Amino acid sequence: MPSVYLQTFGCQMNAADSNGLAHQAWSMGCTFAAQPDEADIIIVNTCAIREKAELRVYGRLGQLKGIKERRPQAKLLVAGCLAEKDRAVMRAKAPHVDALLGPREYRRFKELLGSWGVPTDAPPPQTDFVMPSLEDDPGRDGAHEFAHLRALVNITRGCEKFCTYCIVPYTRGPLESIDPDEIESQVRREIRCGAREITLLGQNVNSYYWEEQRLDFADLLLRVGAIEGLERLTFLTSHPKDFNPRVVDALAQLRNVEPRMHLPVQCGSNRVLQTMARLYTIEEYLDKIAYFREHLPRWALTTDLIVGYPTESEADFLATLELVQRGTFEYAFIFAYSPRTGTPAATMDGQVPPQEKIRRLQAVNAAQNDVTRRFNESFLGECVRVLAQGPSKKDPSKMAGKTGHNTTVIYPRDDRTKSAPVVDVIAEQAFSWGLAGSVAEPAYV
C-alpha cells in the first residue's frame, strides 16, 4: 500500500484539515512515512496568512524537488491556503508539484488518490487510525505519544468578515456552520480515543449558528461541555463584533472549560480599526472584556495584534502599545503587517517601511513580554495542573506541557513523568515564555 508523508504549516484549522486528510488516506489503506524520502505521496498543507509563511512553504517545496528528481513516480500534493491563493502561479514557481487542493476541495482528495493508483474500494483497515507525528504541526506540536491528548474539532468553516488585510475569506470561502450532532459525535469519538482536551475550532466561532435547532455558539458550548468524559474544553478563534455576553455566561456555567479566551483586537486605534473594517471601536471591545473579566476572574485573555498596517501613524501605534502596557492581555500574538495580493490593504497608500514595522513589532513584543511575565509570576508557589506535550524541544532532559491558561510549563523528566498525560507541578520560576517547577506530590491524575 502507498505510504503518505504529510507536513502542515499554519494555523490550527490546517492541523485539523491535515487530520482529516490523513484519516481519509488511512481509510483507503495508506500507511504513513516519517520522512518524505520514504513516501509515495507527499502532502504539504500550506499557509498564506503572511509572506513569511509563504516563503517557508516555497522553501520546503524547493527541498522536495530533489526527491521528485530521484523518484519521479512519487507524487507531490500541495494543499491548503497557498494552493488556493497561488493556483495560477504555482506551476511557474514550483513546476514539480503534481496537484493542488484548496481548503474547499478536500472532498476531491480520495478521487485524486484514486487517480494516483490508490484503490478506492479497499475494505476498511484493521488497524486503528493513529495520526502520524508531523513536523511543524501547529495543532499537534507535542511528541507523538502525547498527540492524542489534544483534539481539534471544527465547528465552522470559512470566514466572510473580509478584514481588509486578510487573505482567509478568499482562500477558505464563506462561513458555514457544522451540524451540532456531527460535532458532538466527533467530540465523543475523540474522547474515546484518549483526548483530554477538545478545542472547538473556527475562524470565527462566535458566528456559529445552526438554524434547525436555533443553536448559537453559547448553546453549543453548553451542549458540548455536558458531554461525559470531557475534561477540558476550549475554543479558537473569535471576532469581537460577534462576541456577546451570553458566551461569557455559558463559560461561567461550565466546570470543564479551560480558563482562557482568545479575542483578537488587532490594534488599539479606532481610526485603524475602521480602515481594517473590523466593525468595532476600542471602547466596544473594552466593554465586552470588562464583562468577561467580571464574570470570569483569573482567566487569561489572549489576542492578535498587527503593527504597521498601512497609514498607521506614530499615534496609532502608541495607542496599541499603550493598550498592551496597561496589561489588557495575558498573552498576545503580534505580527508585522504583511501585504497579501488581492486584499484591499495591499494596494493602499501609506504602506509602512519594513524597518519601521520591525521597530514597532519589537516595542509591542517587549511590552507584552513584561505583562506576560508578571502574569506568570502570579503563579509562583502554586500548584498548576499540566497537560503534557512531551520532552521539551530545547532541553529533552525535561518535560514540557501546558496549563489551562495555555502557559508552557517545564518540569523534570523521570520514569514517572515521561509518560504521564497530566502532571501537577509546583511553579518555582517564572519567565515571559512560561513557568518551570518541580513535580507535586501526589502528582498525577
Is residue 337 a contact residue for ligand 5AD (CB under 6 A)? yes
User: Which range binds ligand 5AD by CB under 6 A, 251-259, 283-291, 334-342, 361-369?
Assistant: 334-342
Binding mask 170-209 toward ligand SF4 (x if CB under 6 A, else -) reads ---------------------------------xx-----
Which partner, ligand 5AD, ligand SF4, none, binds residue 157 by CB below 5 to 8 Å per kind? none
DSSP, collapsed to helix, strand or coil, labels residue 122 as: coil
Distance between CA atoms of residues 211 and 225, nearest Å = 20
The residue from 57, 100, 159, 220 that contacts ligand SF4 (CB under 6 A) is 159
The residue from 60, 85, 150, 239 that contacts ligand SF4 (CB under 6 A) is 239
Backbone angles phi, psi at 350, to 5 degrees: 85, 30
Is residue 162 a contact residue for ligand SF4 (CB under 6 A)? yes
- What is the DSSP secondary structure assignment for residue 309, as one 8-state letter? -
* 210 or 309: CB nearest ligand SF4: 309
State the nearest-atom distance from the C-beta of 207 to ligand 5AD, in Å: 15
- What is the DSSP secondary structure assignment for residue 54, as one 8-state letter? H
Question: Which among 264, 253, 254, 210 has a CA at the least distance from the CA of 233?
Answer: 254
Which residues, including other chains, have CB under 8 Å from residue 122's CB and lie 6 or more apart?
28, 29
The residue from 26, 109, 165, 217 that contacts ligand 5AD (CB under 6 A) is 165
DSSP, collapsed to helix, strand or coil, labels residue 275 as: helix
* 222 or 348: CB nearest ligand 5AD: 348
Which residues, including other chains, have CB under 8 Å from residue 342's CB and lie 6 or more apart?
85, 167, 170
Is residue 285 a contact residue for ligand 5AD (CB under 6 A)? no
The position carrying cell 436555533 is: 214
* 203 or 407: CB nearest ligand SF4: 203
The residue from 29, 138, 169, 245 that contacts ligand SF4 (CB under 6 A) is 169
Axis-axis angle for helices 245-253, 282-295 (nearest 10): 20
The residue from 4, 78, 81, 168 that contacts ligand SF4 (CB under 6 A) is 168
Which partner, ligand SF4, ligand 5AD, none, binds residue 203 by CB below 5 to 8 Å per kind? ligand SF4
Fill in the amino acid letter for 152. L
Is residue 333 a contact residue for ligand SF4 (CB under 6 A)? no
Is residue 340 a contact residue for ligand 5AD (CB under 6 A)? yes
Backbone angles phi, psi at 100, to 5 degrees: -125, 135
Which residues, including other chains, have CB under 8 Å from residue 431's CB and lie 6 or more apart?
373, 376
Name 12's bridge partners.
none
Which partner, ligand SF4, ligand 5AD, none, binds residue 306 by CB below 5 to 8 Å per kind? ligand 5AD
Which residues, including other chains, have CB under 8 Å from residue 370's CB and lie 6 or more apart?
432
**Per-residue CA distances from 418 to 144, 389, 399, 438 (Å):** 13, 10, 7, 14
Is residue 16 a contact residue for ligand SF4 (CB under 6 A)? no
The residue from 25, 74, 306, 324 that contacts ligand 5AD (CB under 6 A) is 306
**Which residues make up the interface to ligand 5AD (CB under 6 A)?**
49-50, 165-166, 264, 266, 304, 306, 335, 337-338, 340
